[in-house]
Amino acid sequence: MVSVRIRVIPLFFLVVGFFLFFSCAPSIKHYPRIDQYLLTQDYDSAYKLVEKSKETYAERNAVLYYLDEGIISHFAGRYKESNQSLAKAESIMEELYTKSISKEAASFLISDNTIPYRGEDFERAMLNLLMALNYAGLGSWEDAVVEARKVDNKLNLINSQHAEGKRNVYKEDGFVRFLMGTLYEAEGEINDAFISYRKAEAVYRADYLPNYGVSPPTILVEDLLTSAHAMDFHEEMAEIKRQYPDVAFTDSARKKEMAEVFFIHYNGLAPEKVERHFLVPMPDGFVVKIAYPKFVKRSYRISHGEITLSNAGSGRSYRFPTVLMEDIASIAVLNLENRINRIKAKAIARATTKYLASKGASKVAEEKGGKLLGLVVQASASIASVATEQADVRQWRLLPAEIRVGRSLIPPGEYGGRITFVGSGGTVIGSREIAPFSVKKRAKRFFMYRTLN
C-alpha cells in the first residue's frame, strides 16, 4: 500500500503543477510603466520597455507583443514601423483563426489561457483601423482604403459563423465607414464617398446610438450633404436635411478650393478585462469553479479637445472641437457581454469534465491505496480544479477608451496652433502645441494625439 501512495501522489501533483503552469495568464507588470511613458509622450521608452519585456509575453501571447509594438509606434507617428508590427500581429491572428484541435482540446481540459491569444473580435477590427490611419498619416490613400475595407470584411466573416440571433452586437463600424468616405474623397471617388458616408450615418443612427449612445457626428452629416450636393443627388439631400435640419454644409465647389485637416484624438484607457467567478459545492465535497472574463471601464478626466489653428498669412484663426466617433470601451464591454453565455457554457463543460476526471482518479486511488488516499486525491483534485480554472483576461491593453475627431475645412496656406484638452466641467487639463504645417488646395492632413488622463 505504501508503494502505491509513493507512485500515485507525486504523479498527481506533477500533473497539478503542469496545469498551474500552463493556465497562468500573461504578466502585466510592465503596463503601469508603459502608461506613464505614454502619459508623458515618451514613446521611445515605452517601445523599448515592450521590447525588453518580450519574454514575459510568451509564445502564446505573440499577438499582444506585436499589437503593443504597433500601437506605440502609431502614437509616436512612426507609421511605417507601426504597420510592420501590426502586419505581424495580423498574420498570427489569421493563422490562429484556423483552430488547432490539440490546443483547443487543452483549453477545454485546463483553461483558455493555454491556447495562443488571437484577439477579441473588436481588437481584430481595431488593428486594421489603425493600419488604415497609418496609411492616411502617410498620405497613401489607396492602401488606407484597403485596410479600412478589411474591417468590414472581418466583421462580416466573424458574424457569419454564428446563427441568426446569436451574432455579435459589434457587426459594423461607423467610424471606419466615415474614414472610407474621407479616403474615397481624397482619391476623387465622390460617388463611393457618398455611399460610405450614407452607410456610416445609418450605422451611427441604427447601431451606435442605441447600443453605445453615440449619435451621428455633425462632421459626418456635413460630408454626407456635401458629397450628395457634388453628385446632384437632390432627393437624397432633401431627405438628409429633413433628418438633420440644423446641420449646415459646405458647397461642393467651395470645398474643392479648401484643404481639410483631421485631428485624431485617442482618449482614455481601454477597459480592463478582469475575472469574475462563482463556486459550486458538490454533494461529495468537491468544489467546482466557474470563471469568466468581464470588461470594466476605467475613468479618465479629459472629455474632449479644442483645436485652434492660425493662418500665418492672413492671421485668421479657426477653432473647432474633437467629437466622439468611436467608443471603444463601450464596444468592448457590450461585445463581451453579448457572447458571455457562450464563454460560460464552455467553462461549465470544462468544470464538469474536471469533476468527473477527479472522481475517477479518487476512485482508482481508493481501490489501490485505501480510503485515506482516495480522500487525499479528491481534495487535491478539488484544489487543482479551482486553481487551474482561470478566466482568459488577456487583452490589447494599450487601446484607447475612445477615438475623437476634430475636422475643419481651411484655406490653403501655412498654419500653426494648439490643441487644448478639456474636462467635463470645462477645466483645462493640458495642451500641446501643433507644429507648423502647410496644406495645399484639396489636400487632406491627419494629425494624431494620445491622452490617458
Q: Work out the average pLDDT over 432-444.
A: 96
Task: Give me the pLDDT at residue 166, please.
Answer: 66
Q: Work out the average pLDDT over 97-115.
A: 58
More confident residue, 228 or 22: 228
More confident residue, 29 or 103: 29
Kindly report the number of other CB atoms within 10 A of residue 423's CB atom.
15
Please give the Cα distance from 107 to 114 (Å, whole number): 6
Band the pLDDT of 371: cuts 50, 70, 90.
confident
Give yes or no for residue 12 having a pLDDT over 60.
Answer: no
Give yes or no for residue 242 having a pLDDT over 50.
Answer: yes
Reported as a single tens digit per residue, the pLDDT across 22-66 is 445 556 789 999 999 999 999 999 999 999 999 888 888 999 999
Band the pLDDT of 386: cuts 50, 70, 90.
low
Q: 130 — phi, psi (to 5°)?
A: -65, -40
Range from 136-145, 208-217, 250-259, 355-364 carrying the lowest mean pLDDT:
355-364
More confident residue, 235 or 102: 235
Amino acid in the structure at residue 452: L
Is the Cβ–Cβ distance between 86 and 130 less than 8 Å? yes
198 membership: H or E segment, kind and range: helix 190-203
Show the 3-state SS of 241-287: HHHCCCCCCCCHHHHCCCEEEEEEEEECCCCEEEEEEEEEECCCCCE
Give yes or no for residue 102 having a pLDDT over 70.
Answer: no
Band the pLDDT of 104: cuts 50, 70, 90.
low
Q: Is 78 helix (H, G, I), strand (E, B) or coil?
A: coil
Band the pLDDT of 14: cuts 50, 70, 90.
very low
Please give the Cα distance from 358 to 12 (Å, whole number): 11
Task: Give me the pLDDT at residue 444, please.
Answer: 96
Q: Work out the average pLDDT over 403-420.
A: 97
Task: Give me the pLDDT at residue 289, please.
Answer: 80
More confident residue, 337 or 112: 337
Give yes or no for residue 273 having a pLDDT over 90.
Answer: yes
Task: Give me the pLDDT at residue 306, please.
Answer: 98
Please give the Cα distance from 385 to 400 (Å, whole number): 35
Please give the Cα distance from 178 to 197 (Å, whole number): 6
Task: Give me the pLDDT at residue 87, please.
Answer: 97
Reported as a single tens digit per residue, the pLDDT across 299-348 is 999 999 999 999 999 999 999 999 999 999 999 999 999 888 888 777 77
Task: Give me the pLDDT at residue 141, please.
Answer: 96
**Cα 1 to Cα 12, 343, 362, 366, 373, distances in angstroms:** 16, 43, 15, 11, 10
Give yes or no for residue 105 having a pLDDT over 50.
Answer: no
Please give the Cα distance from 446 to 438 (Å, whole number): 12
Reported as a single tens digit per residue, the pLDDT across 185-226 is 999 999 999 999 999 999 999 999 999 999 999 999 999 999
Please give the Cα distance from 267 to 403 (Å, whole number): 6
Phi/psi class of residue 389: alpha, beta or left (left: φ > 0; alpha: ψ in -120 to 50)? beta
Task: Give me the pLDDT at residue 375, please.
Answer: 66
Give yes or no for residue 364 having a pLDDT over 90.
Answer: no
Q: Work out the average pLDDT over 353-363.
A: 70
Residues 6+ apart with CB under 8 A from 315: none
Of all residues in the chain, the percent with pLDDT exceeding 90 is 65
Task: Give me the pLDDT at residue 1, please.
Answer: 42
Task: Give me the pLDDT at residue 6, please.
Answer: 38
Task: Give me the pLDDT at residue 77, please.
Answer: 96
Give yes or no for residue 164 having a pLDDT over 90.
Answer: no
| Count of alpha carbons within 13 angstroms of residue 374, beta-carbon side | 13
Range from 154-163, 295-304, 365-374 carrying the lowest mean pLDDT:
365-374
Give yes or no for residue 418 having a pLDDT over 70.
Answer: yes
Provide DSSP, 145-167.
HHHHHHHHHHHHHHHHTS-TTSS
Task: Give me the pLDDT at residue 8, please.
Answer: 44
